[in-house]
Amino acid sequence: MEEGPDITKSAWVDVFAQPSRETLVGELMPEDATAFEAVAASLAGREGWKAALEWLGLPWRWAYVYNADGTERPATTYLIPDPRGSRVCIPVPIAGNAVPDMKSLTKPVRTRLEQAAIIAGYIWPEWSAAEFDSVALESLLSARTTKTK
């Protein structure tokens, strides 16, 4: 990641004190805060999804964990308010009935999946909040929630 703000004094890195949303968003650059809030609104608007702020350790620290009713870990989506640039991760299973139809994905989404790490049976692609496109990512957002119930 490029050099960015000094995060050593950021509320985002303090494991011992859960920050407020206002504090986390306030530490983002203005354009990134706007993108973060747009992603949060998009995810919050999904039927049956709930968000919780959780400490996830390195590298995500404090992040919003979105789960749809009936889904298990890993969460359906993670929204990370990193002061150096907020980002979104949508874990994608590599096997099972919740694997999205790869033919329905755009080439940029397939490329991101191909480049992402595979850990514990999931692909872990990340997008900056500014890159988040709920239309292009709909197949990933809905695959686990519609196929696992």
* 15-44 pLDDT tens trace: 999 999 999 999 999 999 999 999 999 999
Domain ranges of the chain: 11-147
Q: What per-residue confidence (pLDDT) applies to 129?
A: 98
Cis peptide upstream of residue 125 (ω within 30 degrees of 0) = no
| Cβ neighbours for 111, distance < 8 A, ≥ 6 positions apart | none
Q: Kindly report, residue by residue over 111-122, the tens digit of the pLDDT.
A: 999 999 999 999
Of residues 46 and 145, more confidently modeled: 46
Q: What is the pTM of this model?
A: 0.91
Q: Which residues pair with 62 in a beta bridge?
A: 55
What is the C-alpha end-to-end distance of the chain, expressed in Å? 37
The whole-angstrom separation of Cα 25 and Cα 80 is: 11
Owner of token pair 């949508």: 90
Q: Is the pLDDT of residue 147 over 70?
A: no
Of residues 148 and 118, more confidently modeled: 118
DSSP strand pairing (126-128 vs 77-80): unpaired
